[in-house]
Chain A
């Protein structure tokens, strides 16, 4: 065993220790299979009860009539009633955008595309990439203007990370 072997063995030990720590840190995370999550999300999304459709239509009509203040509590109630469905989240995002709260709207959109990635897929009729990109852009502008007033605000910096995450999601990926 020469010096090179010893260096190699030390490196292997370091990697093993690092892997142990990564596994420890990983224990608290949600361990559900991502593909199963995706399938579930799609299944959830396809459950469309007449009652839900009716509620969504009411909120859409309020939005079209320029009455987001009245639509907001209704949208929040639908989200609470159907917490894992994409469409109510997307609708809540639309309501919040009309209420000129792009940061909260961004969070609603983030959940919506988490439940249904088709919103960012050009090949599907649900594609809403341009709308989402504009919303994220407005959220970034809002965050930056707030950061000018409160530089070093950790919450705002976290919001910025969400903005960048959504930009990456919108930009797409090969995997």
Chain B
């Protein structure tokens, strides 16, 4: 769920030895996943997100994978909503930042072959769930930290979805193990993102950029790109994932937070994101506590809950939330790349079919899509079960 295996090197072993000599209890993994890095990752996402929102991004939308995906496909003219067209540099930055860190640390590895088409489908459903809730799990954190109490319904939905997904994992769900792929395969999604970046800079005729509406609201390009790259670098290094942190709780229970450095790190990362985003929102006058009148919200609480349940459930099945899929795609995971392409298609469908939640509530098309999505995930979960078995090997990898 959360990414990279810890590679204990000589330096971290040395650090552990020094700590032991000083009487500080530490394992090599503590050095591999230093808590300070998770604090920094959460802080970087939280602060930069609020600043981007202050400098032009829509309210409470410093980062939102689903909204930004809708903007990107709009800009590529895969939907016709003239208010939702922009090649969001943050998304490009996530992938390129992840690639840079993976190459620098020798962790880039092209892999694939673990049910890519199914991941494509689930990727699309993740964006449908996010669009109904009006935000991905990262934006959900921004909404909560800006005082939007309606987003707490989404938190509950996400936790419920992760719980359901974990039950499937516990009962033998498996998409099959990924295997090494040719080096260049892993560069397809980063290459696509680099092309998008070039298109954003050159602005050829086939690219549309909104002159009004949410698509026209954006922070300065270079700042957004730098923030995205920075977050991508840190997220690759730590394996930061919203659903990953929650799923570990269900996997091993609260006790695990005191034993596993990475589990503790992910929890601290989430707390750090929330805390820093909260403080930044307060300092920049973007905090407004309440149930009513919040940006990107509505009163369809049941459907917001179910939308995030869909996201949590789907994220567990494909090992990561939408944000994590982008980071994994950057480090060579072509299965995550399939999910990213599915997310792009899902974003186009959300706009073309009018599935997204809005200030008025959840449209009936969105309600049906969420129910359909949950049913599809249940069918997938049942069809891909290995009866009589428990956690499949691919879900144990990276859980160091």
Interface of A with B (CB < 8 Å)?
A: 2, 4-5, 8-9, 11-12, 15-16, 18-19, 22-23, 25-26, 29, 33-35, 38, 117-118, 121, 123-124, 161, 164-165, 167-175
Contacts and interface: CB of A to CB of B under 8 A. Distances in A.
Given A168-B298, A171-B293, A123 B216 contact: yes
A26 B375 CA distance: 20
B84 interface: yes
Contact of B375 (A15, A165, A174): A15
Given A35-B80, A35-B81, A171-B295, A22 B368 contact: yes
A174 B378 contact: no
Contacts of A2: 387
A19 B299 CA distance: 20
A164 B299 contact: yes
B254 interface: no
B157 to A, nearest CB: 15
A15 B58 contact: no
**A contact face: mostly helix, strand, loop, or mixed:** helix
Contact of B372 (A4, A19, A25, A118): A19
Contacts of B292: 164, 167-168
A35 to B, nearest CB: 6
Nearest to B375: A15
B298 A4 contact: no
Given A15-B378, A38-B81, A117-B83, 7 more contacts: A4-B385, A15-B371, A19-B372, A123-B216, A171-B293, A175-B134, A175-B358
Contacts of B382: 5, 8-9
Interface stretch (B6-14, B99-107, B197-205, B359-367): B359-367
A174 B135 contact: yes
Given A8-B378, A11-B378, A174-B139, A19 B59 contact: no
B1 interface: no
Interface stretch (B39-47, B206-214, B329-337): B206-214
Interface residues of B, number: 52
Contacts of B374: 15
Interface in B343-380: 351, 354, 356-360, 363-364, 367-368, 371-372, 374-375, 378-379
Contact of A173 (B211, B214, B387): B214
B84 A16 contact: no
A12 B372 CA distance: 9
Contacts, number: 113
B67 interface: yes
Contact of A172 (B58, B298, B379): B58
Contact of B364 (A25, A123, A169): A25
B296 A174 contact: yes
A164 to B, nearest CB: 4
A4 B170 CA distance: 11
A38 to B, nearest CB: 8
B64 interface: yes
A168 B378 contact: no
Contacts of B167: 4
Given A123-B217, A175-B84, A175-B131, A168 B297 contact: yes
Contacts of B60: 174
Contacts of B378: 8, 11-12, 15
Contacts of A164: 292-293, 299
B90 interface: no
Contacts of B212: 118, 121, 123-124
Given A8-B382, A11-B378, A172 B371 contact: no
A58 B132 CA distance: 45
B61 interface: yes
B60 to A, nearest CB: 8
B354 A35 contact: yes
B354 A33 contact: yes
A127 B359 CA distance: 18
Contacts of A117: 83, 213
B322 to A, nearest CB: 14
A165 B360 contact: yes
Contacts of B387: 2, 5
Contacts of B296: 171-175
A44 to B, nearest CB: 16
A123 B56 CA distance: 11
Nearest to A164: B292
